[in-house]
Structures are given as structure tokens and as C-alpha cells.
Amino acid sequence: MKVNTIKRYSNTGRVFRKLFRSKLSLIGIIIVAITIFIAMFAPLISPYDNTEADLFSTFKNPSMKHFMGTDELGRDVLSRIFYGARITIVVGVVAVLIAMIPGVILGLIAGYWRGKADTIISGILDAIWAFPTLILALAISAILGPGLLNILLAIGIVYTPGFARVVRSMVLSVRETEYVQGAKAIGLNDFEIIFKYVLPNISSVIIVQTSLNAAQAIIAEASLSFLGLGIQAPQASWGSMLKTGYQYMSIAPWLSIFPGLCILLVVLGLNFLGDGLRDALDVRIRTD
């Protein structure tokens, strides 16, 4: 037991060393950490109330008083960026969890037990997978209506097949390994094998898939909000700020530039982090 514990700790240390040695993954960690910090402490660090309108200060250029200018209602853009980071973090975490939990369960069932369960699950997932992600999310959001909860459900549903396909692919290979066959030979039941041998050996793939899907979920939320089916006023989100700014590009380009840059940076950071995790954990995601 002591040897196994030492080995597990040494492997964890090796992963972190590889992760922090990569410049791109380190940049990704810094970007994600800053975004989380801003989201957590937005009420404390925002210079103004993000919903307070000031009709005497509309379309103010970026200045020392308003670092990112003001919008069409005189609201401080920087403060709205800070509060919009909260929506970004919620989407990146909650929507991906909504996709991951059923996706992992369905992938385990389809990959481990196979047979009719695999045929039914794969058929349903392939039917969902056949639709373009954004179009399907748009259709679900149109049915459910605008709002944060409905956006989370829509994004979670459309990304569930991705998790299920990856998990199924990995389980199909892991279930044929010698240690799983040995566990069956000594009389362990299926659930014991799954939790003791299968899940621990595919956890690295799930972690990488989660980080990459978080970036895609953020883009999906921004797209839906831009189309008017996401976060509604006066609540701030980077996608809805892009939509508003698009109408005033000729007179106030900063209304679109700053939220657009924030989305770009966070998505790049998550992709850098995902690539770093994939290299550090030495996994190759297969979706065939």
C-alpha cells in the first residue's frame, strides 16, 4: 500500500511538472486563474455597478475614469466585463458537468456491456451527433426559451454525445486488458471492476475532454447570447455585450472589441490548458 501511494504521488508530481514546464499550458493556467479570480470577486473589484445607467455618460471613449468606455446606457464596460466573467465560468463548469455526467455513464454502459445497450445508445447519440452543434443548441434554446438555466441545459445536451463517444472508445479497449480480465476471474462484479479499474484508467481522457469542451461551451453561450437566445438584459454576458456592440460598431467599436477579446483569451487559455493536460497525462483521445 505504501509503495502504491508513493507511486501515485510521484506520478501526480510528474504530471504537474510537465504541465508547468510547457509555456503554452502555463499561459492557459494563468488566463483561467485570472478569469476565475475576476468572476469570484467581481462585486469587490468592479469600479461601478454593472447595471447602473447614466444617460449623461453614454458612449464615452476609454479613459482613466472608464478604462473600457461606456455603452449606450452609460454603463461602465469594464464592470460589465467583470460580471460577464461570472457567466463564462458558470457555463464552462456547469454546462460541461451537465454533458459529462450522462455522457460518461452512457459511454460506460455502451462500451462495457456492449450488445443491445451499445446499439441503442450509439444510435441515439449518432442521431444527436448528426446535427451541427450550434444549430442543435439554437433549436433547443428556442424551444426552452432564453435564460441562463436553459442555455446550460441546451449546451449540456449537445455536448453529451462527445463525452459518450470518447468514453465508449476508451472503455472498449480497457475492458480487454489483462487486469480487467483478471478481476473478472477472481469474481469481482461489473460495478467493482468499473469503479476500481475502468474509471481510474480513463479518468485522464475525461479530464482532457472536459477542459476542451469548456472552451467550446463558452463559444456556444456567446453565440446564443449574440443571437438573442442567451443571457437577457440587464444581466451582463460577453455574448450579449457583443450583440449590443455590433449595432454601434461605427461610433463605439470598443463595445465589441473588449468582450470579443475576453472570449478569445479565455478560449485560447482553455485550449492551451487542454493541450498541456493531454501532453502531461499522455493520452490520445479517440472518437471512432
Is 250 a member of any domain?
A: no
Percentage of residues in the chain with pLDDT exceeding 90? 43
Mean predicted lDDT score pLDDT of the chain:
87
pLDDT at residue 190 in the model: 86
Is 182 a member of any domain?
A: yes
Is 121 a member of any domain?
A: yes
Arithmetic mean of pLDDT, 69-76? 91
- Name the grid cell of 111: 462500451
pLDDT in tens, 154-211: 999 999 999 999 999 999 888 888 888 888 888 888 888 888 889 988 888 898 899 8
Is 80 a member of any domain?
A: no
Task: Determine the structural domain holding residue 146 and report its residue range.
Answer: 2-35+90-235+258-281
Residue 76 backbone dihedrals phi, psi, to 5 degrees: -70, 120
Is 53 a member of any domain?
A: no
Is 179 a member of any domain?
A: yes
pLDDT in tens, 206-224: 988 998 899 999 999 888 8
pLDDT at residue 287 in the model: 41
pLDDT in tens, 88-98: 999 999 999 99
Count of the separate structural domains present in the chain: 1
pLDDT at residue 276 in the model: 87
Is 41 a member of any domain?
A: no
pLDDT at residue 254 in the model: 92
pLDDT band for position 284 (cuts 50, 70, 90): low
pTM, 2 dp: 0.85
User: Residue 77 above 90 pLDDT?
Assistant: yes
Q: Give the CATH number for residue 122.
A: 1.10.3720.10
Is 14 a member of any domain?
A: yes
User: Residue 280 above 70 pLDDT?
Assistant: yes
